[in-house]
Amino acid sequence: MALISVDRERGLLNVEFQGLDKLWTLKSRLEIPLAHVRGATHDPGMAREPKGIRVGGTHFPGVITAGRFRRHGERLFWDVKNPDKAVVVELADAETYDRLVVEVDDPRATVALIERSIARG
């Protein structure tokens, strides 16, 4: 699972991976400039879509999808075990990823936090 927070002072969206997710994703955190965040949605259905080619990370269908994937030229970062808690963060002018698909504890609160933060930007 991921913890998402916003650092207004530095203008960053922080995604911190918890527990074994650090191992599965091959990352402990991501820092994305808020200027690159287009929006976020709670999208449990995203987990049923094709993942593409795994570039680095872990994929056991129906169990966990974590790490970097490429699909139709799109760069995705996944960290999902429970699709019901999946949040999709759309990125623009991304240096590394086009979309993040991460599992969070409270999807609605996370989407609201991200949307409020980019609306202020």
- The CATH number for 65's domain is 2.30.29
H-run or E-run covering 38: strand 37-42
Whether the pLDDT of residue 6 is over 70: the answer is yes
Average pLDDT over every residue of 11-23: 95
- Domain total for the chain? 1
Average pLDDT over residues 22-41: 94
Please enumerate in sequence order all residues whose Cβ is within 8 A of that of 62, keeping only pairs 6 or more positions apart, or say none.
Answer: none
- Token digits of residue 84: 């019901």
d(CA 45, CA 48): 6
Q: What sign does the dihedral 18-19-25-28 (CA atoms) show? A: positive
Instruction: Report residue 119's pLDDT band, with 50, 70 and 90 as the boundaries.
Output: confident
The per-residue pLDDT for range 80-94, each reduced to its tens digit, is: 999 999 999 999 976
Q: Which domain, by its residues, includes 6?
A: 2-120
Considering all CA atoms of the chain, what is the largest pairwise distance in Å, rounded to the nearest integer?
Answer: 39
The predicted-structure confidence for 37-54, as pLDDT tens digits, reads as follows 999 999 999 988 899 999
Phi, psi of 14 (to 5 degrees): -105, 130
- Portion of the chain with pLDDT greater than 70, in percent: 98
